[in-house]
Structure 1
Amino acid sequence: MNLTGLSRRRFIGATSGVAVAATLVEFGGAAPALADSRTWQPATSSNGWSVLDHAGSHAIEGSGEHVSLADGDAATVLLHVARRFHYEIDTLRPGDVHGWTADRTVTEPYESNYLSGSALAIRPTWYPVGAKGNLYPNELVVVRDILTELDGVVAWGGDFTTPKESHFEIAVRPGHPRLKGVARKIGGWNSGPGNEGAGAVDAFDPARRRAARAFAGRAS
């Protein structure tokens, strides 16, 4: 299913399946079929992280919002994603960011990663499973820059066979050296003078654009 052309470029802020369906009818289209759901049974999520009984609440810098994530390197990296979205794409509002959940109902295996606190979704009602092409070009530039900056430690749902453009997940196993290295780098930015990291990045700098294109080519 591809909702390109029936995205927030044509209806901004549809906040429920009912609203989306009504809007599609208004535009003369059929409402998309809901994806089949299933109950995730394994003790680990699809990316190899342990399913958690609970997860700590973490503040998203500058936004006043919080999200539940696995403590440690996963939280450090995913909070960086959320901060950059907030600073460079759009202001985060209450309810925009979803992290850990105890609800084992998933429509795609990658959604099991919320159970381990190793993934988050930013505005999942805006960018649901199966919808693609909902980001404006300038927003996509920022997303690609984030993925490049994080050296493949984070995967974006917009690149998946069944896309979910709100979805960002840790793409390596717990304790992976690359995850530790990226988390240390972000920690250095967070404790530094403030001229690096989220809020101090120009994703449109030509050198960064070239790096992002090269990274995307290698990752594809």
Structure 2
Amino acid sequence: MQIGFTRRAAVKGAAAVGAAVAVGGLLPGTAVAAPAKETAEGTAEPGLLAKKLPTSANGWTIEKEANHVSTVWTRPVPGTGLTVDVRIGDAEEILVHVIRRFHYEVEELPSGDLLGWQAIGGLRAGAPESNLASGTAVRIRPGASAKGGLFPYQELVLRDILAECEGVVRWGGDDDAVDESLFYLVPGPEDRRVRQLADRLRGWGARPGEGPRRPAGRPAPGGLPPAPARRTAPRAAAGGADGLAGARLPGLARRTVPLGLMDGRRLHLRRRP
């Protein structure tokens, strides 16, 4: 069998291929991935894929700066006059809630006693404090990081704040390397507990008077201690300035007199007949 392949046909074919290559060099190109590299385990890794962004200890992406091409911005802590550099979104909702309760129920904070985002260069990578670099941690009273910086009644209230966060927020005072000033998110960005807690807190803010309904003594998720019993204000002496101290309220075994509203929850003074 003869194949009709002449020298003239071969020359024409080569010329056509050369022209196509030349034209291709003049046209806009499309990026092509480099060949995959084999790892020691035999799995392939795409050569031109973006490198994985560095993360803090809890798995959130580290930010190089705040307030510029970043997920970290300076945010207000409502009702306190304070601001903090924090990761916007769910992390902000949760950490601002913790700061706010601490300010009102543990100790009033001056502006210098609250710090948020810090550059990773000044932190220990892989340690809980690295979470500051991702905007998912704050320092409250940064100068009081040593153990024993809180009075017992203050720690009792702090435990209630942590229990309210249901294991999403951890206090550095419970770490092996104690840092009582540090508060940070434990779950990573894909953990649904973060969104669930943030949504719950948003709901409390939208509907004043609502709040946690966990009975005292019931353990919270995450191995945290049970919520302490809610304390009521002590009975005032008769003849108090409000005109109600010691007064009997006929017809009912118990009554409560509203005292005010703080952080979305109504406080009451319990009166006995």
Q: What's the TM-score, normalizing by structure 2?
A: 0.56
1:85 Cα deviation (Å)? 0.4
Alignment match, 2:88? 71
Matches within 5 A, 1:135-214: 135-192=150-207, 194-197=208-211, 207-208=215-216, 210-211=217-218, 214=219
Gaps of 5+ in 1: 1-41
Q: How does 1:105-124 map to 2 (within 5 A)?
A: 105-107=122-124, 109-124=127-142
Deviation at residue 172 of structure 1 after TM alignment: 0.2
Check conservation: 1:144, 1:216, Cα contact below 8 A: no
Q: Structure 1: which amino acid aligns with 2:223? A: R
Larger Rg, first or second structure (1 or 2):
2
Identify unmatched segments of 5+ residues in structure 2: 1-52, 67-71, 226-273
Separation of aligned partners in 1, 2:203 and 2:132: 26
Structure 1 equivalent of residue 100 of structure 2: 83
Identity value in percent:
39
Secondary structure at the residue paired with 1:215? coil
Asked if the contact 2:166/2:222 (under 8 Å) is kept, the reply is no
Q: Cα offset for 1:218?
A: 2.8
Structure 2 residue 118 is matched with structure 1 residue 101: yes
Comparing 110-119 and 131-140, the one that deviates more: 131-140
1:30-82 CA distances to partner (integer Å, 9 max, x unpaired)? xxxxxxxxxxxx81101111001322111111110100101110010000000
TM-score normalised by L of structure 1: 0.69
Deviation at 1:207, TM superposition (A): 3.8
For residues 196 and 122 of structure 1, what CA distance do their matches in structure 2 show? 26
- Distance, in Å, in 1 between the alignment partners of 2:169 and 2:82 is 21
CA RMSD of aligned residues (A): 2.3
Q: Which runs of 4+ in 1 moved over 4 A?
A: none
> What do the CA deviations read for 1:58-110 (whole angstroms, capped 9, x no partner)?
11111101001011100100000000001101112111111111252225711
Cα deviation, residue 178, structure 1: 0.8
Relative to structure 1, the CA distance from residue 216 to residue 181 in structure 2 (aligned partners, 3 Å threshold; closer, same or farther) is closer
Distance 2:153 2:124 in 1: 29
By relative contact order (CA 8 Å, sep 6+), the higher-ranking structure is 1
- The residue that corresponds to 1:47 in the other structure is 58
Structure 1 residue 215, shift from structure 2 partner: 3.5
Return the structure number with greater helix share: 1
- Give the 3 Å change call, closer, same or farther, for CA 206–155 of structure 1 in structure 2: closer
The whole-number CA distance in structure 2 between the counterparts of 1:68 and 1:140 is: 25
**Cα distance between partner residues in 2 of 1:66 and 1:119:** 14
Number of aligned residue pairs: 166
* Residues 1:134 and 2:152 aligned together: no
Q: Secondary structure of the equivalent of 1:95?
A: helix
Please state how far the C-alpha of 1:143 moved relative to its aligned partner.
Answer: 1.2
